[in-house]
Amino acid sequence: MAEEKTYLELSEADGVSHKFYEVVIKDTQVTIRYGRIGDSGQTQTKTYTNPDQAKADATKKINEKLKKGYEHAVMGVRQKRAVTRRAVTSTVSTAKAAPILWKFTSKSAAFGIFIDAKRCWMGNQGGQVFALDHQGQVLNQFKLPDGVKCLVADDVWIYAGCDDGNIYDLTGKLPRIAYKIDENVDIFWLDINDGLLGVSDANGGVTTIDHDDELQWTRLSQGQAGWMVRCDEAGVYHGHSQGVTMYDTKEGRMLWHQKTGGSVLFGWQEASAVYAGTSNHLVYCFSKKGESVSVYKCDDAVYSCAAALNGKYMFAGDNSSSIYCFNQTGKRLWKLGTGCGSALSMQFFDDRVYIVTTDGTLACIDASEMAIAAALAGTVPEATMIKAPKGEGAAPSTDLEMITDISQGVIVECFREGSKLRVRVVSPGYNPDWNVQFPKDIRQQGDRYLVEEVRESASGGFYRAYGEIKKIIS
């Protein structure tokens, strides 16, 4: 039986979307391929009991896309939009070796890192995300459609910002799309606080998007290349080529601006301060009121930084594969070489510094006083070497397990509000007027879902879905 192929595209002049959707019917099999125009995208195949059923379901999917504004198109006419990937260089450090306990090696340079009591997360430019334990053993892995810009945590949720313009929730078995960003925006960095997403871009713009994917505000800062954005309840801290600017969370009013001697390449925040690593070899610490607190001097451009114990120590990584430690006043305590590339992101946790590097390594460094003293004297432990497992891990999918048993979990339903699909809780004991933050790509009007948990946001006013999601069938 011959194939029947339908190819659609959605590419709006204002840059909201630039994506394709292809449906191929062959006998009882329907193959759907979708993604950003110019990319290979993701593919899903489903087999039906007979050709008529396959044809009916495929037609339904095509009509749904046409209603959303997709149009019939010819593949290859529209070109792929450019994505800026950070240009990094790395030389070998001349400093003594750092006391590395273990190294996990992946296939490409990595910017994404997040460490908590249970897991060490890493995301790389190949779209791979790994979750490891504190001994470096892989617990889980995902494969996203494009390079991972960064990993961020928001309460118990872990998100990956991807070059395809989507933010993926990684708290379930499969990655689910939590936010979709204007595909004309060349994303550089992002952060999330209580469901509010902050995005910085190539042009020096900073944008906030709420839990229901609604744009809150956009501001154009004084500089270009926003490699730093950090969010808290009070504001959004934006680092760019001309320094650091703070905007208030609700309205986007500029509250303060501090110049830096070079372009900001990385940002970190603690409860009372923000840190900006720069191209002119310095890390600046500003209070959240905009006051200059400390300046930390490295020997090369600073690719990453992280504070420990609310600023008692500050760590930095440069483009010469060295890491540094400073005290609160800015005094350098030590400098050591990584031996595995320059640290593109880092985090301190429980007397250890974790780094992800230009050569695709996640390294665990013993930062205790005893281990550092031994390293400075030339004695380091033999690092355990761990290779990435074969296989690519779970990819994003719109597939859901179908269930009839609703005895365990919380029931939510999808409904239409104007042009938007929203989700609300229908289980008793919840506010029916509050919307639920829920994956964007699995919403279908009128459908009900069983969610592992629904939690109230820290600021109130909406709920957040957590864990596994299943579709309820009657």
In whole angstroms, what is the distance from residue 405 CA to residue 267 CA? Answer: 46
| 88 or 142: which leads in pLDDT | 142
Average pLDDT over every residue of 195-211: 92
- Judge whether residue 159 has pLDDT over 90: yes
* Per-residue model confidence (pLDDT) at position 14: 42
- Judge whether residue 79 has pLDDT over 80: no
Residue 442 has what DSSP assignment? G
Amino acid at residue number 256: W
What is the average pLDDT score of the chain?
Answer: 91
User: For residue 173, how far is the Cα from the chain centroid?
Assistant: 17
Domains, the chain, ranges and CATH?
4-72 (2.20.140.10), 100-387 (2.130.10.10), 401-472 (2.40.50)
Which DSSP string do the residues of 201-268 spell out, in sequence order?
Answer: ETTSEEEEE-TTS-EEEEEE-SSS---EEEE-SSEEEEEETTEEEEEETTT--EEEEE--SS-EEEEE
Average pLDDT over every residue of 180-207: 87
- In 3D space, the residue among 104, 15, 111 whose CA is nearest the CA of residue 383 turns out to be 104
- Judge whether residue 324 has pLDDT over 70: yes
pTM over 0.85: no
Average pLDDT over every residue of 25-48: 84
- In 3D space, the residue among 88, 124, 120, 121 whose CA is nearest the CA of residue 108 turns out to be 124
In whole angstroms, what is the distance from residue 359 CA to residue 340 CA? Answer: 6
- In 3D space, the residue among 217, 237, 169, 134 whose CA is nearest the CA of residue 465 turns out to be 169
* Per-residue model confidence (pLDDT) at position 16: 45
Q: What percent of the chain has a predicted confidence (pLDDT) above 90?
A: 72
In three-state secondary structure terms, 392 is coil
- Judge whether residue 140 has pLDDT over 70: yes
- Judge whether residue 12 has pLDDT over 80: no
105-119 per-position pLDDT tens digit: 998 999 999 999 999
| 206 or 36: which leads in pLDDT | 206
User: For the ranges 44-48, 79-83, 106-110, which has the lowest average pLDDT?
Assistant: 79-83
**At CA 451, angle to CA 450 and CA 455, rounded to 5?**
140
User: For residue 27, how far is the Cα from the chain centroid?
Assistant: 39
Whether residue 348 contacts residue 316, with contact meaning beta carbons closer than 8 Å, is answered with no
* Per-residue model confidence (pLDDT) at position 326: 97
What b-and-e string marks burial along 278-309, b requiring 16 or more CB atoms within 10 Å of the CB?
Answer: bbebbbbbbebeeeebbebebebbbbbbbbbe
Distinct helix (H) and strand (E) counts, the chain: 2, 40
* Per-residue model confidence (pLDDT) at position 187: 83
pLDDT band at 397 (very low <50, low <70, confident <90, very high): confident
237-267 per-position pLDDT tens digit: 999 999 999 999 999 999 999 999 899 999 9
* Per-residue model confidence (pLDDT) at position 80: 61
| 43 or 443: which leads in pLDDT | 443
Q: How many CB atoms lie within 10 A of CB 212?
A: 18
* Per-residue model confidence (pLDDT) at position 146: 85
- Judge whether residue 402 has pLDDT over 50: yes
Q: What percent of the chain has a predicted confidence (pLDDT) above 70?
A: 96
Q: How many CB atoms lie within 10 A of CB 382?
A: 7
Most confident of 210-219, 323-332, 390-399: 323-332
* Per-residue model confidence (pLDDT) at position 1: 61
Whether residue 168 contacts residue 192, with contact meaning beta carbons closer than 8 Å, is answered with no
3 state SS for 141-158 = EEECCCCEEEEEEECCEE
In whole angstroms, what is the distance from residue 311 CA to residue 224 CA? Answer: 28
Whether residue 173 contacts residue 160, with contact meaning beta carbons closer than 8 Å, is answered with no
